A and B are shown apart, each in its own frame.
Chain A
Amino acid sequence: MSRRWATVYGVLKGGWSAAVARYAVILTVALIGYAAVLLLAGKDPVRAYADTFAYALGTRYGFSEVLVRMIPLLLTGVAVALPARLGLINVGGEGQLYMGAWLATWGAITFTTLPQFLLIPLLVLMGFVGGGCWAAFAGLLRARGLVNETITTLLMNYVAPLLVGYSVYGMWRSREVGSAAFPQTVAFPSAARLPRFFGTRVHLGLVLGLIALFAVWFVVERTKWGLKMRAIGGNPEAARRLGIRLGLYIVVVMFIAGGVAGLAGMAEVTALHGRLRAGFSPGYGFMGFLISWLAGGSPPGILVMSFVLAIVFAGGTLLQISQGLPFAAINVLMAMILFVVLANPRFSVSVLKRALAGKGRQR
């Protein structure tokens, strides 16, 4: 059993009960830790949690906002999980998200006359290509054996927002009356706005995210390309000897992963903001990494964990209002969750099991 936990993809194979137990332990410990922080800040953790869950799961508006928050998390989670199958560590979700938004913005403010049925696919493509190229560059350096992709993707996270900032402060800055004071582009034409559903802010990005999740699962688990990818991740030496083109796969997979993260950025600006703003992402790209790790790379896990973290995000907005907590306070909770993950939940689960087994024996 312990070896099962050790494998990154062991969550599914360990069985549903094991996966659920793992998530439950992680979240419980993190929530208890965060409650202590809230207490220290003089807030009432029980009320804060009750408020959050009642809002997020109990109200129609709250639930729809959770789904809205979930879209970029789902996409960036996929963007981390896919390269992980090749043993690549993509920590550049944030940068790729910004570049997807950047290129999509260019499309939206350039092709203003196109009808919606042409412009939306074009913007989706732009978002994908923008993020994809940003990641593929890191992949190329890795494939050439020059620089590790973890370093490049991480550092390029700091370049992409600056590029977006340069654009919105400079050439793309809106001259509209009233909005010129802000660093942002002009509002996109209405044809460039992603469709929304059910009268809420839930938009087409959710469909894109689910498609991406399913497509990645299908390709990796069922197709010949997936077999080769898993071989590269499992043993690159053997894969090389079997004539699999590692370099090609690394670049292409990084492109696709970056593209998926780029879709998140594209969806944010075209569906929600309707214009490109500097610093529009509250760290969705970094959260993607957390989600993929929490989920152990498994597709259902990514779905569940992006939903859970979306509740945290939505709760952060709520607590800002109801408890007067700064939004950044949710970063403490995120850090707690990551800390528990890194502190090896296998340990806590096995301790729990041993305790139960011990009790059984005493009886």
Chain B
Amino acid sequence: MVVPSAAESRGALAQSGENMCSRGRVTAGVDRVSARAGHPIAQLRGVTKRFPGVVANDAVDLDLYPGEVHALLGENGAGKSTLMKILYGFYSYDAGSIHIDGREAHVSSPLDARKLGIGMVFQVFTLIPAMTVAENVALYVPGLPLMLDARSLGKSLRALGNRCGLRVDPSANVRSLPIGDQQKVEVLKLLVAEARILIFDEATRVLAPHEIEGLFEIFEMLKKDGYAIVFITHKMREVLACADRITVMRRGKVSGTVRGSEATEKALIELMFGGSVPDQAPRGVRDAAAGDCILELRGVSTRAHGVGIGLRDVDLAVRSGEIVGVAGVSGNGQRELTDLALGLAACTRGERLILGSNATAWGARRVRAMGVGFIPEDPLGMGVVPWMTLAQNAALGDVETYSRYGGLSIDWQHVRRDVAAAFAELDFEPLETWVPVRTFSGGQLQRAVLARELGRHPRIFVASYPTRGLDVRSATATRRVLAGLRSRGGGVLLISEDLDELFQLSDRLVVLREGRIVGQFLPQELDRHTIGHLMTTSGDGHE
């Protein structure tokens, strides 16, 4: 089923021929939209979606208005993304209805959604890095002409970008663009494809603080043009900064919708958690004076692998009873730093010391045997064997302990006992041990890896983005565990993009940029903006 206005605009587009994304057409679209301001552009009524064993959306009602930023707030697993994927035609729904422009719409595929003017920016971008901005956008232009006129396309893109605050060089290679600009290209794609409803799924996750502000400015411009924006997030601060209307979801249901101007943090938290607010994790206060150095890097450089970046002259020390936070935009050497700490990468220069011994030449096995644990940036890809069960993955964490008869057999009872004990100790909800871990949700998987690694009571813990993908409850529990490890004399190297988390937990902060440590601070010496700029500005005349 096709909405007439969308059909008209596509007809106009086909006629406009070579000038695919002219400014005039966008304006026309805007007039069309704003003429109906006050009426919702999209109405979801009683939308229900069941997955095996769970109701992801339970009779959800939602109205999206043109010219508004509508934030969908909720814990991970509350059903925000599912709901939007239903609207985008990614999932089918079991009950309920969707109306676009007052007419019932059957969105059964993303193609249908795009025809209806619904566009989505995913967490993981769908750009082709080897192509230019213009080429990437051109892929989304409906009715692309046989011959591409790169110049006129670039010109109209530039015009559209200027209008909407999405300034990106159309001839630039996407690969060379910073993440923030890549996101702009994603938005441009949607605008060119005549989307009127723009859905942003956790759009700020990959952005530095000033880039987030840039995104909110873009939201403002798009609002003025009458676009309806949906912003999925679980971060309170961002919701309060940009939303006109906030819908809070909890366990698949809408627990309330409030106007952005009337919302308070306290009220939103109550809606999110139904009154039972999770405990605050401990502040970053050192319990005792930090002890001996347990992990130390002295002037270490590493070789760059592939598209990665090598570390250069890194000096870093983690003492026992200390959490050292590493701030930085990902891709600036975080992966290399953790690989180095875990013994996966070799130093081309400098020394690595673990618990006072020179560990420069040690491999991953020896490092791990010394009591080093880790949570990787990508738990499914780097931490577990996806098709193995939870018990098997747990056994892999410490094979020798569970071996019987010299390794001819494995004591699975012991493994299961330890898994249960670790989950209980961390205050995580227990998981089935015989289930292949690839069937777990992101949060469950994160908990599984944390339980395996922390169950060994490591002396040194290398945590990459430990709370990414966790709901607030589990995230709080995880932070509490890290703090607990510190108070027992362990040392934590905490790599995170979440500045709140870094400030909250760290005893010391270092900033990593282009493989170098560009600053070392105590958290109280620094504010978010200084650190944000330190993370992103190129200081040494590079480029």
Contacts and interface: CB of A to CB of B under 8 A. Distances in A.
Q: Do A and B come from the same complex? A: yes
A224 interface: yes
B365 A230 contact: no
A223 B409 contact: yes
A243 B367 contact: yes
A241 B388 contact: no
A239 B397 CA distance: 9
Interface in B345-404: 363-369, 374, 376, 381-388, 392, 395-397, 399-400, 402-403
A225 interface: yes
Contacts of A225: 407
Contacts of B376: 238, 241
B387 A234 contact: yes
Contact of A223 (B365, B382, B392, B408): B408
A230 B388 CA distance: 9
Contact of B410 (A224, A238, A241, A243): A224
A241 B365 CA distance: 8
Contacts of B374: 241
Given A222-B408, A224-B407, A227-B410, A243 B385 contact: no
B408 A243 contact: no
A319 interface: no
A144 interface: no
A235 interface: yes
A231 interface: yes
B409 A243 contact: no
A231 B385 contact: yes
B342 interface: yes
B392 A227 contact: yes
Given A222-B409, A241-B376, A242-B396, A230 B368 contact: no
B387 A224 contact: no
Nearest to B378: A237
Contacts of A245: 363, 365
A237 B381 contact: yes
Interface string A116-128: 0000000000000
A226 to B, nearest CB: 9
B388 A237 contact: no
Given A235-B381, A237-B381, A243 B386 contact: no
B374 to A, nearest CB: 6
A110 to B, nearest CB: 36
Contacts of B365: 243-245
B62 to A, nearest CB: 33
B344 interface: yes
Given A239-B385, A240-B344, A241-B382, A224 B367 contact: no
Interface in B411-427: none
A7 interface: yes
A244 B344 CA distance: 11
A72 B476 CA distance: 59
Given A227-B399, A228-B396, A238 B384 contact: yes
A85 to B, nearest CB: 12
Given A223-B409, A223-B410, A243 B369 contact: yes
In the A-B complex, the 7 residue pairs with the closest CB atoms: A234-B385, A243-B365, A243-B368, A224-B407, A235-B385, A224-B403, A237-B382
14 contacts: A224-B410, A231-B385, A231-B388, A234-B386, A235-B381, A238-B385, A239-B385, A241-B364, A241-B382, A241-B383, A242-B397, A243-B367, A243-B369, A245-B365
Interface of B: 342, 344, 363-369, 374, 376, 381-388, 392, 395-397, 399-400, 402-403, 407-410
Given A234-B385, A235-B385, A240-B364, 15 more contacts: A223-B408, A223-B409, A224-B410, A228-B396, A230-B388, A230-B392, A238-B376, A239-B385, A241-B364, A243-B364, A243-B367, A243-B368, A243-B369, A244-B365, A245-B365
